[in-house]
Amino acid sequence: MRIIIQKSLASRVLIDDEVRGEITKGFVLLVGVTHEDTMEDVVYCARKVGNMRLFDDEDGKTNLALKDVGGDILSISQFTLYGNTRKGNRPSFINAAAPDHASNLYDALNNELRDQGFHVETGEFGAYMQVEITNDGPMTILIDSKQKDL
């Protein structure tokens, strides 16, 4: 599982010009799932997101986590995170999970984050969406469950 975290001041997702999810301060998660991902990957990524310290403390150091600042999450499914660009100029998406598998794990991730006490807004899995992100910093972090610490 790959997750791009963008620290956000305000973000929203639109489908057919209708706002489906919106947050102010918090994280925008762009979530990709691959074939071999399991609930172990979901739990690992949810723990990392929930504890990631990307917000400044009173000394201006990035020591505060999302829960410390009362932030929200906008979670967007994005199979293109598993695009392979090694050959040619058109990405291959063969490493992205099949929709049923990806949807189940994407939903499980959002539920794990909700179980941690976070307010999680989402788009719609598989829909064509416009995502507006006001990236704060800019601050963008990549989490890859296959590169987890042992």
Q: What pLDDT, on the 0 to 100 scale, is given for residue 13?
A: 98
- Confirm if 71 and 26 have CB atoms less than 8 A apart: yes
Domain of 86: which CATH number?
3.50.80.10
Give the residue numbers spanning the domain of 110: 2-147
Q: What is the pLDDT along the chain (150 residues), one digit of tens a residue?
A: 999 999 999 999 999 999 999 999 999 999 999 999 999 999 999 999 999 999 999 999 999 999 999 999 999 999 999 999 999 999 999 999 999 999 999 999 999 999 999 999 999 999 999 999 999 999 999 999 998 764
Contact status, residue 54 vs residue 68, Cβ threshold 8 Å: no
List the catalytic residue out of 24, 80, 134, 140: 80
Catalytic status, residue 80: yes
Return d(Cα 5, Cα 54) in angstroms, integer. Answer: 10
Number of domains in the chain: 1
